[in-house]
């Protein structure tokens, strides 16, 4: 199976700003791929290059086996896009916009549209200017999910949705995966990415800093452990992979590199374990680890 | 917290946000007053010529309906005040409405008011600040108008009266806009209702003047504007009447503000269709949907203006019969042709420029769609860039033809009926109108070139159109060289009717428009979106 999206060494500059600085991204066919990064990291710029709206300065981008800049018509028939900031025409109703976008893409399923309108609780009779941000996003989401395409490109699609609608959205993405479709999901919402995505790419300042499945990425991080021991531990500090140990008598709190977990646990059981809590790293910690070194640059310590 | 808390801050913000719009309006209207005052003092330098002109106007039902009756017949000032009264009053009303709606319902619809309203801002403050922007604009305009008319050599007291006479419809429609901003939920609808009230006010005055029903114009703030009788025995109390009505309407607007929620209107919003019509399936269909309302409004304006031109045409010859200086001036401006032909040529040239305004606006809509981020989702479908833009560009191409055609036919029918010669007049005036279209196309093509190649500078297309306008208006007066004059496409339009219809300039202008547009489209295909 070919990759749905393969991008390598992508560079895009706007004046003096280097928005993309050698970005790599591979999305396999049939997977839900999380595209993570702080504001201004280059997520939307990458997506706009993939949609043929921007032309890359260097690097290669392949989309569904074609060139995103040259093969616009053939590629766009096979994909649907939800922008982060959905702006509607003030005098067209939501229903009209959904139908229009579907027809311009090459047809959509009216039955599926009706079902989605109900699930997202969207009133299609309102004029574009009357919708709130969340409802404008629902219009674009219904238009995208109702279309029969191979690839969905979603750019922060849920920033205006309430938790109930967020759940509807997640179920829709699950269904798309079951139907064998590929989804590129750019997001800030880590719980959403954790719940939905098979693989994740984390980008920062226009470069990819991490990519892989969630368990692969977790492997690179630390697990936090809290234990109540029978006797005070001994030599724990000197074990490789142990960080921030906090030993108070028989109570131990520490962080451990996930690949050194086995040795540390053996050491703890020697001292006799009364109780043990182990917390796997969250995506959030993973995410923060990549960005926290940005913050101190300008901050007083 | 006082209901007016924060008004001062909001007013400052409003004046800052609209400083360019405000300056352009005041400048344009004062220039209109100055050119009218200057033109009349030069044209009617003798009592005899003035008398002929006044009796010509007041004896012609069509001009009386269009401009009103000359109420102060004995002086050049009185004629200037008459000429400025009706049309100027409408323009001042439009200025006031656009400013006030922009700062009241416009801000509210865009959600900016919510941001502001969370601060220390009284319930009536946003409306008050919006109204005050209108008041400031009108007072500034009254002052500048007075100064330029005095500079034209007209008496000071009368000039003040003209300024205040403009402020009457200005203040009244400032308050009308304050009311409609409460009624409608959208700025577009609020503007529409207020502009419809202007239309009714103008028609009441026109009907009253034409039918000699003397109380009818008194129902209209635009009628009051003329009743000030500047440069005669000024009736200052009419200004007071305008202020009283404006204050009463402001009170009504305040009462409405208290009765509604933020963001809501008092008129119900009707839901639209849940499904798109089967025809809404192409970029062209979408462009038609987005452009049709504006096109129909422009079309009715052109048709009414055309009919008005046709209506007054028969009287033109009589009007200037006695004044040899007018005849000289007109023939200097338009060549050796009959006065009627010259008049038609001049007004059709103005219509050509207005048609170019329409065409440029249509082209700049492309940029608006792009910067508003409505273009991206469309280009993420199978629609290609050029195909999308052609949907809108068809309006820039066909729009001027349709608008000018409507004006030409309306003028031809109105004039043809009066001289009992429809068969000749309709094609004659239609031709004179339609030859303007290629010049409008060239202007629109320049706008497309900017959009395609340097999109950030697209609004500079208005500057290009302004330059064409100045070349046409000032060129003959300043005796600019032909090479400079030739820069404007409007210079090359055949001077119909009267002159021979030559195909070369029309074909050349069309070819230039097509070539420039093609470069613009090629640039748009290659550039980044956004």
Q: Residue A78's pLDDT is what?
A: 92
Contact B280 A96 (CB under 8 A): yes
C-alpha to C-alpha distance for B306 and B508, rounded to whole angstroms = 27
Q: Report pLDDT for A296.
A: 44
Q: What is the pLDDT of residues B90-108, one digit of tens each?
A: 999 999 999 999 999 888 8
The residue of chain B with its CA nearest to that of A47 is B380
Q: Give me the percent of chain B exceeding a pLDDT of 70.
A: 94
Closest CA to B36 of B200, B152, B192: B152
| Cβ–Cβ < 8 Å for B208, B139 | no
Is some CB atom of chain B closer than 8 A to the CB atom of A129? yes
Answer yes or no: same fold for A3-217 and A222-280.
Answer: no
Are the beta carbons of A85 and B373 separated by less than 8 Å? yes
Q: What are phi and psi of A203, to 5 degrees?
A: -120, 155
B185 falls in which pLDDT band (50, 70, 90)? confident
The answer as to CATH 3.40.640.10 being correct for domain A3-217 is no
The number of helix segments (H) and strand segments (E) in chain A equals 10, 13
- The answer as to CATH 3.30.70 being correct for domain A222-280 is yes
Contact B275 A95 (CB under 8 A): yes
Classified as helix, coil or strand, A230 is: coil
Q: What percent of chain B has pLDDT above 90?
A: 47
- For residue B117, is pLDDT > 80? no
Task: Return the higher-pLDDT residue of B47 and B405.
Answer: B405
Q: Quick check: B41 contacting A, CB < 8 Å?
A: no
pLDDT (0 to 100) of residue B96: 96
Q: Are B283 and B388 in contact (CB under 8 A)?
A: yes
Residues B314-355 pLDDT 10s:
776 665 555 555 556 555 554 445 677 877 888 888 889 889
* Closest Cβ–Cβ partner in A55, A96, A126 for B276: A96
Torsion of CA B356, B362, B368, B373, to 10 degrees: -160
pLDDT score at B1:
55
**pLDDT for the residue numbered B477:** 65
Report phi then psi at A151, rounded to 5.
-130, 130
Cβ atoms of A172 and A80 closer than 8 Å: no
- Characterise A15 by phi-psi region: left (phi > 0), alpha (psi -120 to 50), beta (else): left
Q: Does A51 sit within 8 Å of B379, measured CB to CB?
A: yes
- B526 interfacial to chain A (CB closer than 8 Å): yes
pLDDT tens track, chain A, 301 positions: 579 999 999 999 998 889 999 999 999 999 999 998 888 889 999 999 999 999 999 999 999 999 999 998 899 999 999 998 899 998 899 999 999 999 998 877 888 999 999 999 999 999 887 788 889 999 999 999 998 899 999 999 988 888 899 999 999 999 999 999 999 999 877 788 888 999 999 898 899 988 988 877 776 677 888 889 888 887 777 788 888 888 888 888 888 887 788 888 888 888 888 888 888 777 777 777 766 655 444 333 3
Query: Is residue B10's pLDDT more than 70?
Result: yes
B161-179 confidence digits (pLDDT tens):
999 999 999 999 999 999 9
For chain B, the C-alpha Rg in angstroms (whole number) is: 24
Whether B46 contacts chain A with CB within 8 A? no
DSSP 8-state secondary structure symbol assigned to residue A87: -
A70 in contact with B, Cβ within 8 Å: no
Question: Which strands sit side by side in the sheet containing A242-248, from one edge to the other?
Answer: A242-248, A251-257, A222-229, A273-279
pLDDT of amino acid B379: 94
Collect all residues of chain B within an 8 Å Cβ-Cβ radius of residue A128: none
Residue from the list A90, A100, A126 with its beta carbon closest to the beta carbon of B280: A100
Q: Which helix (H) or strand (E) holds A99?
A: helix A94-105
Phi, psi torsion values for A276, nearest 5 degrees: -150, 130
Q: Which two tokens stand for residue B30?
A: 């004062």
A83 contacts B377? CB cut-off 8 A: yes
C-beta atoms of A140 and B377 within 8 A: yes
Nearest CA of chain B to the CA of A54: how many Å? 5
Chain B contact present for A20, CB below 8 A: no
pLDDT for residue A143:
94
Quote the pLDDT of residue B45.
Answer: 79
Considering only CB atoms, B530 lies closest to which of A53, A96, A105, namely A53
Q: Which residue of A has its CA nearest to B282?
A: A104
Cβ separation A101–B377 shorter than 8 A: yes
Taking an 8 Å cut-off on Cβ atoms, the answer to whether B382 and A77 are in contact is yes
Judged against a pLDDT cut of 80, whether residue B293 lies above it is answered with yes
Alpha-carbon span A114 to A102, nearest angstrom = 13
pLDDT at residue A242, rounded to an integer: 84
Q: With a threshold of 0.80, does the pTM exceed it?
A: no
B374 at interface of A, judged by CB pairs closer than 8 A: yes
What pLDDT, on the 0 to 100 scale, is given for residue B241? 94
Give the H/E segment covering residue B348. Answer: helix B339-371
Helix, strand and coil content of chain A, in percent to the nearest 5, comes to 35, 30, 30
> Which tokens in the block code for residue A284?
């959030």
Strand A3-14 to strand A32-36: parallel, antiparallel, or no bridges (unpaired)? unpaired
B26 pLDDT more than 70 = yes
> Could you tell me if the ipTM is greater than 0.85?
no
Task: Read off the tokens for B359.
Answer: 């065409």
Q: pLDDT: is B431 or B497 the higher one?
A: B431
How many Cα atoms sit within 13 Å of B281 on the Cβ side? 8
Model pLDDT, residue B321: 53
Q: What is the pLDDT of residue B327?
A: 59
Looking at chain B from residue 261 to 290, which residues have their Cβ under 8 Å from any Cβ of chain A? 269, 271-277, 280-283, 286, 289-290
Whole-number Å distance between alpha carbons of B205 and A132? 44
Query: Which one-letter DSSP state was computed for residue B270?
Result: P
- Exposed e or buried b for every residue in A112-128, given b needs 16+ CB within 10 A? ebeebbebbebebbbbb
Q: Rounded to an integer, what distance in angstroms lies between the CA atom of residue B304 and that of residue B309?
A: 9
DSSP A148-203: --SEEEEESTTTT--HHHHHHHHHHHHHHHHTT-EEEEEES-HHHHHHH-SEEEEE
At B469 the pLDDT is: 82
Name which of A76, A96, A122, A123 to mutate to probe chain B: the one with the most chain B Cβ atoms within 10 A of its Cβ.
A96
The domain locations on chain A are: 3-217, 222-280
Shortest CA gap A72–chain B (Å): 7
Please tell me the distance from the alpha carbon of residue B231 to that of residue A161, in angstroms, as a whole number: 65
A138 touches chain B (CB under 8 A): no
What pLDDT, on a 0 to 100 scale, did the predictor assign at position A299? 36
Q: Which residues of B touch A98 (CB under 8 A)?
A: 276
- The whole-number pLDDT of residue B207 equals 81
Which chain A residues have a beta carbon less than 8 Å from that of B528? Answer: 53-55
Q: Report the SS3 class of residue B106.
A: helix
Task: Specify the 3-state DSSP secondary structure of A279.
Answer: strand
Average pLDDT over chain B, rounded to whole? 87
pLDDT tier at B52, thresholds 50, 70, 90: confident
Query: What is the distance, to the nearest Å, from the Cα of residue B529 to the centroid of all Cα atoms in its chain?
Result: 32
Q: In Å, how far is A210's CA from the nearest CA of chain B?
A: 28
Distance, in Å, from the CA atom of B44 to the CA atom of B53, rounded to the nearest integer, reads 8
């Amino acid at each position: 199976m070919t990759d749905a999206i393969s991008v390598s060494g992508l560079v895009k500059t706007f004046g003096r700003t280097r928005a993309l600085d050698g970005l790599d991204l591979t999305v396999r066919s049939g997977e839900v791929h999380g595209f993570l990064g702080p504001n201004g990291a280059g997520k939307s710029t990458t997506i706009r290059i993939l949609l043929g709206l921007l032309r890359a300065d260097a690097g290669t981008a392949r989309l569904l086996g074609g060139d995103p800049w040259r093969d616009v018509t053939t590629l766009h028939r096979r994909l649907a896009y939800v922008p982060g900031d959905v702006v509607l025409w003030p005098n067209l109703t939501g229903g009209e916009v959904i139908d229009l976008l579907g027809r311009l893409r090459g047809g959509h399923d009216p039955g599926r549209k009706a079902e989605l309108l109900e699930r997202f609780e969207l009133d299609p009779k309102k004029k574009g200017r009357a919708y709130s941000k969340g409802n404008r996003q629902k219009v674009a989401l219904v238009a995208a999910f109702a279309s029969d395409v191979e690839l969905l490109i979603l750019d922060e699609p849920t920033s205006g949705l309430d938790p109930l609608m967020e759940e509807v959205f997640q179920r829709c993405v699950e269904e798309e995966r079951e139907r064998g479709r590929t989804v590129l999901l750019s997001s800030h919402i880590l719980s959403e990415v954790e719940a939905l995505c098979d693989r994740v790419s984390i980008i920062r300042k226009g470069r990819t800093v991490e990519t892989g499945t969630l368990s692969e990425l977790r492997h690179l991080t630390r697990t936090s452990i809290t234990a109540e021991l029978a006797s005070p531990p001994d030599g724990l500090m000197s074990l490789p992979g142990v960080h921030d140990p906090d030993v108070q008598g028989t109570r131990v709190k520490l962080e451990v590199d996930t690949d050194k977990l086995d040795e540390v646990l053996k050491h703890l059981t020697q001292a006799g374990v009364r109780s043990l809590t182990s917390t796997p790293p969250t995506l959030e910690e993973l995410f923060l680890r990549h960005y926290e070194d940005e913050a101190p640059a300008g901050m007083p310590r | 917290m006082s209901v007016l808390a924060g008004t001062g801050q909001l007013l400052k913000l409003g004046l800052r946000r609209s400083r360019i719009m405000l300056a352009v309006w005041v400048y344009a209207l004062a220039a209109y007053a100055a050119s009218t005052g200057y033109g009349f003092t030069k044209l009617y330098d003798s009592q005899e010529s003035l008398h002929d002109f006044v009796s010509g106007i007041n004896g012609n039902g069509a001009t009386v309906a269009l401009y009103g009756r000359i109420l102060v017949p004995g002086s050049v000032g009185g004629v200037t005040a008459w000429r400025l009264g009706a049309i100027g009053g409408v323009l001042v009303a439009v200025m006031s409405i656009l400013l006030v709606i922009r700062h009241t319902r416009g801000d509210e619809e865009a959600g900016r008011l919510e941001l502001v309203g969370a601060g220390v801002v009284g319930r009536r403050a946003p409306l008050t600040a919006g109204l005050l922007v209108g008041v400031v604009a009108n007072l500034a305009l009254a002052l500048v108008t007075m100064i330029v008319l005095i500079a034209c050599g007209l008496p000071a007291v009368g000039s003040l009266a003209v300024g205040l006479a403009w402020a009457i419809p200005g203040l009244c429609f400032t308050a009308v806009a304050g009311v409609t901003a409460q009624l409608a939920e959208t700025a577009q609808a609020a503007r529409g209702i207020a502009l419809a009230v202007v239309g009714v006010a103008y028609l009441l005055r026109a009907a009253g003047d034409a039918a000699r029903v003397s109380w009818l114009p008194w129902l209209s703030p635009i009628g009051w504007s003329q009743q000030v009788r500047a440069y005669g025995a000024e009736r200052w109390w009419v200004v007071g009447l305008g202020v009283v009505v404006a204050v009463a309407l402001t009170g009504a607007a305040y009462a409405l503000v208290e009765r509604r929620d933020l963001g809501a209107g008092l008129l119900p919003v009707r839901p639209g269709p849940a499904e798109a019509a089967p025809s809404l399936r192409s970029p062209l269909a979408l462009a038609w949907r987005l452009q049709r309302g504006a096109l129909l409004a422009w079309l009715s304006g052109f048709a009414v203006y055309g009919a008005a031109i046709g209506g007054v045409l028969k009287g033109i010859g009589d009007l200037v019969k006695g004044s040899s200086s007018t005849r000289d001036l007109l023939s200097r401006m338009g060549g050796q042709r009959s006065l009627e032909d010259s008049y038609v040529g001049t007004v059709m040239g103005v219509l050509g420029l207005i048609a170019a305004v329409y065409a440029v606006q249509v082209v700049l809509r492309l940029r608006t769609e792009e910067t508003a981020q409505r273009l991206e989702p469309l280009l993420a479908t199978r629609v290609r860039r050029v195909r999308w833009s052609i949907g809108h560009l068809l309006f820039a191409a066909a729009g001027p033809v349709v608008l000018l055609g409507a004006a030409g036919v309306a003028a031809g029918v109105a004039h043809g009926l009066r001289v009992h010669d429809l068969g000749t007049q309709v094609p004659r005036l239609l031709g004179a109108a339609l030859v303007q279209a290629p010049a409008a196309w060239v202007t629109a093509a320049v706008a497309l070139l900017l959009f395609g190649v340097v999109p950030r500078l697209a609004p500079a297309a208005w500057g290009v159109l302004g330059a064409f306008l100045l070349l046409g208006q000032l060129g003959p007066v300043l005796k600019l060289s032909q090479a400079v004059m030739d820069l404007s496409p409007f210079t090359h339009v055949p001077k119909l009717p009267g002159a021979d219809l030559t195909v070369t300039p029309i074909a050349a202008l069309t070819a230039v428009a097509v070539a420039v547009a093609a470069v613009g489209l090629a640039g748009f295909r290659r550039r980044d979106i956004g």
